[in-house]
């Protein structure tokens, strides 16, 4: 379903609609996860030397919070456009086709393969620094406790004055940390 032969594309364009899984997109461990599947709707338009795909993906992506490292869901509505060009004929229209802004993918043996375009757009749609919430408190740098779910004993020694820090270090060195 994610590979379309240009022979099957009528002049008015071909509508492609299907469910796309994490496996379909060959997403890596570090990439966003997909909750269940993403719904793909796309239109493939064939030109004389190239081919254009306009589409959207809807569903829920799973991200890892950069502060607390917990996984969280976020709805994703990804619009994309990809241009496919036959590598053999590329160059002819490069100078003035005005498509610089579009992502260009190779068109091999008159087939359009959506896998790479979809994977890249899913990855690009993810924030660089995903946060489960704007005010995520992250992990304690000392004991690793997720501070969103509970406070830890280390928190209590966080103080404003550098002299107070010295005092607390001395206190801590005498007293084992509260568990």
Contact 40, 79 (CB under 8 A): no
Residue with smaller CB distance to Zn ion, 98 or 176: 176
d(Cα 71, Cα 8) in Å, to the nearest integer?
41
Which stretches does DSSP call E strand in the chain? 3-5, 14-20, 33-46, 50-64, 71-85, 103-106, 111-113
71 binds Zn ion (CB under 5 A): no
Q: Does 68 bind Zn ion (CB under 5 A)?
A: yes
157 binds Zn ion (CB under 5 A): no
Choose between 39 and 172: whose C-beta lies nearer to Zn ion: 172
**115 vs 137, which CB is nearer to Zn ion?**
137
* Shortest Cβ 28–Zn ion spacing (Å): 21
Q: What's the closest the beta carbon of residue 132 comes to Zn ion, in angstroms?
A: 3
Binding region for Zn ion (CB under 5 A) out of 11-19, 37-45, 83-91, 137-145: 137-145
Which tokens is 37 given?
């599947």
140 belongs to the binding site for Zn ion (CB under 5 A): yes
The Cα-based distances of 134 to 95, 138, 170 in angstroms read 44, 11, 35
Nearer to Zn ion, 95 or 128 (CB): 128
Phi first, then psi, for residue 172 (nearest 5°) are: -65, -40
Q: How far is the CB of 25 from Zn ion (least distance, A)?
A: 25
Q: Is 112 in the site for Zn ion (CB under 5 A)?
A: no
| Total of chain residues touching Zn ion, rule CB under 5 A | 11
Sheet containing 50-64: order of strands = 14-20, 33-46, 50-64, 71-85, 103-106
Chain positions contacting Zn ion, by CB under 5 A: 65, 67-68, 132, 136, 140, 142-143, 145, 152, 154
């Amino acid at each position: 379903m994610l590979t379309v032969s240009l022979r099957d594309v009528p002049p008015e364009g071909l509508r492609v609609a299907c469910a796309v899984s994490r496996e379909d997109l060959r997403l890596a461990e570090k990439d966003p996860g997909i909750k269940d599947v993403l719904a793909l709707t796309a239109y493939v338009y064939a030109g004389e030397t190239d081919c254009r795909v306009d589409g959207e993906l809807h569903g829920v992506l799973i991200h890892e919070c950069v502060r607390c490292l917990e996984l969280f869901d976020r709805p994703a509505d990804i619009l994309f456009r990809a241009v496919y060009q036959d590598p053999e004929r590329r160059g002819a229209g490069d100078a003035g086709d005005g498509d610089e802004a579009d992502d260009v993918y190779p068109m091999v043996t008159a087939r359009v393969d959506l896998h790479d375009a979809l994977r890249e757009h899913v990855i690009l749609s993810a924030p660089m620094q995903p946060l489960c919430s704007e005010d995520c408190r992250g992990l304690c740098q000392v004991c690793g406790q997720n501070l969103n779910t509970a406070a830890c004993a280390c928190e209590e020694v966080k103080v404003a004055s550098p002299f107070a820090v010295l005092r607390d270090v001395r206190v801590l060195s005498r007293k084992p940390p509260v568990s």
